[in-house]
Amino acid sequence: MYQFEDLKMEVTGTTYSFSGSFLPDFVGQPTHGVSPFAGIDLSDVVVNIGEPGSTPNHFSNMNFGIKGFRSHIEVVNSDFQSIYTVSGYNSKLIGTAIVSEGDTSLIGFYGSLSVLPVSNNNNTISNCERGVYKVT
């Protein structure tokens, strides 16, 4: 049976945003785009991001808001704006606010994704190429 990491993670009232430019590359640094890859990039975890009634999380100006692989993810009270494709990263899902990818090489394991709206009734996802994408 597949083993998840036992991760206790609390993310509330946090802003993941980008403006300007990166610092100069260091010697041997891998090629990258001109904006961040993701606000949160997860693998092999069970995690809740956000909490009902708390200050919302904000994700903006990057290639992915949240990207999960082989994980069980619940996203609550978080908003996503201006998530878009920028060349320099290799993924067909670039420009998606929330992505959950399963791993079909592990029999029966697909991960899971649950997305609930922000508490203040504002738009949860706006001005993004794609909103939510679940890949098994």
Q: Which tens digit of pLDDT belongs to each residue from 70-101? A: 888 999 999 999 999 877 777 788 899 999 98
State the DSSP string of the chain: ----B-------S-EE---S-PPPPPTTPPP--SS-SEEEEEESBEEEE--TTSPPEEEEEESEEEEEES-EEEE-SEEEEEE---TTS--TTTTEEEEEE--TTSTT---EEEE---TT-S-SEES-SEEEEEE-
What pLDDT is recorded for position 4? 59
| pLDDT band at residue 103 under the 50/70/90 scheme | confident
Handedness of CA 4, 6, 12, 17 (dihedral sign): negative
Residues β-bridged to residue 99: 67, 133
The pLDDT of residue 85 is: 87
CA of residue 105 relative to chain centroid, distance: 22
Above pLDDT 90, what percent of the chain?
Answer: 38
Q: Taking 70 as the threshold, does the pLDDT of residue 23 lie above it?
A: yes
Where are the chain's structural domains?
Answer: 32-135
Predicted local distance difference test score (pLDDT) of residue 111? 80
Does residue 30 or residue 36 have the better pLDDT?
Answer: 36
